[in-house]
C-alpha cells in the first residue's frame, strides 16, 4: 500500500516515515550540512536468506554501505537476478543502502546529507504491518565517497573503511 504525500494525511505519514528512517535533525547544528548528489538509485526486493551478503557489521542495521565491486556484485545478483551489474567507480563512489528491519515496507532513498564526515541516508517507506518473511525491501544509491568518514545508522556510526 503506497501513501500519497499530497494529502494532509499523506504528508503526516510521509513526515513520520521520513523521521523514523534515521534522520536525527533536518539541519546540522553547525550549518555545514550539504546534500550529496545521488548518481544512481535502485529499489526492489531482497531475499532474507541472502542478508549475509551485506557487509559484515551491517547485516542487522537499517542503513549501510558497500565499497567494493565484489561485494556489490554479490548483493546485486541476489537483488536483481539476471540483470546486468551496473558499473560503479568505487575509487570515487560508495553504494549506500536502506532496508526494512521491522516490517515489509517499500522504501526509497530520497536524500543523502553529509555533515562533519557523517553521511545521513534519508529514506521514505510506505507504511504497513506486514511481517518480514522471505523478502525485505531494499534501496541502494551511488554517492560520492569524498568526505564520507562514516554512515549514520540511527544512533550508530558505521565507519567507512577502504581507500577512496
Alpha-carbon distance of 144 to 121, in angstroms, equals: 13
Residue with cell 521514505: 124
Q: What is the mean pLDDT of the chain?
A: 83
DSSP bridge pairs for 152: 120, 157
Location of C-alpha cell 554512515 = 151
- Which one is predicted more confidently, 1 or 64? 64
Regarding predicted confidence, which is higher, 143 or 21? Answer: 143
pLDDT at 155: 76
Q: How far apart are CA 81 and CA 74, in angstroms?
A: 10
Read out DSSP for 38-106? Answer: --EEEEEEEEGGGGGGSPTT-SSSSEEEE-SHHHHHHHHHHHSTTSPPPP--TTTEEEEEEE-SSB---
16-20, 58-62, 104-108: segment of lowest average pLDDT: 16-20
Please check the confidence at residue 132 and state whether its pLDDT lies above 80: yes
Residue 120 and residue 18: Cα distance in Å, rounded?
12
pLDDT given for residue 31 in this prediction: 55
Write the burial class of residue 162 (CB in 10 Å: 0-12 exposed, 13-18 middle, 19+ buried): exposed
Task: Give the pLDDT confidence score for residue 163 in this predicted structure.
Answer: 54
Instruction: Read off the pLDDT of each residue in 29-40 and give the average, rounded to a whole number.
Output: 84
Amino acid at each position: 500500500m503506497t501513501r500519497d504525500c499530497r494529502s494532509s494525511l499523506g504528508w503526516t505519514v510521509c513526515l513520520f516515515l521520513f523521521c523514523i528512517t534515521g534522520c536525527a535533525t533536518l539541519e546540522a547544528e553547525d550549518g555545514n550540512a550539504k546534500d550529496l548528489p545521488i548518481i544512481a538509485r535502485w529499489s526492489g526486493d531482497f531475499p532474507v536468506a541472502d542478508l549475509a551478503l551485506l557487509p559484515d557489521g551491517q547485516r542487522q542495521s537499517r542503513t549501510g554501505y558497500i565499497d567494493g565491486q565484489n561485494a556489490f556484485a554479490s548483493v546485486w545478483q541476489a537483488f536483481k537476478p539476471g540483470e546486468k551489474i551496473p558499473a560503479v567507480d568505487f575509487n570515487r563512489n560508495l553504494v549506500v543502502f536502506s532496508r526494512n528491519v521491522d516490517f515489509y515496507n517499500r522504501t526509497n532513498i530520497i536524500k543523502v546529507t553529509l555533515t562533519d564526515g557523517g553521511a545521513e541516508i534519508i529514506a521514505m517507506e510506505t507504511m504497513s504491518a506486514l511481517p518480514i518473511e522471505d523478502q525485505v525491501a531494499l534501496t541502494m544509491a551511488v554517492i560520492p565517497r569524498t568526505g564520507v568518514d562514516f554512515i549514520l545508522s540511527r544512533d550508530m556510526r558505521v565507519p567507512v573503511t577502504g581507500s577512496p
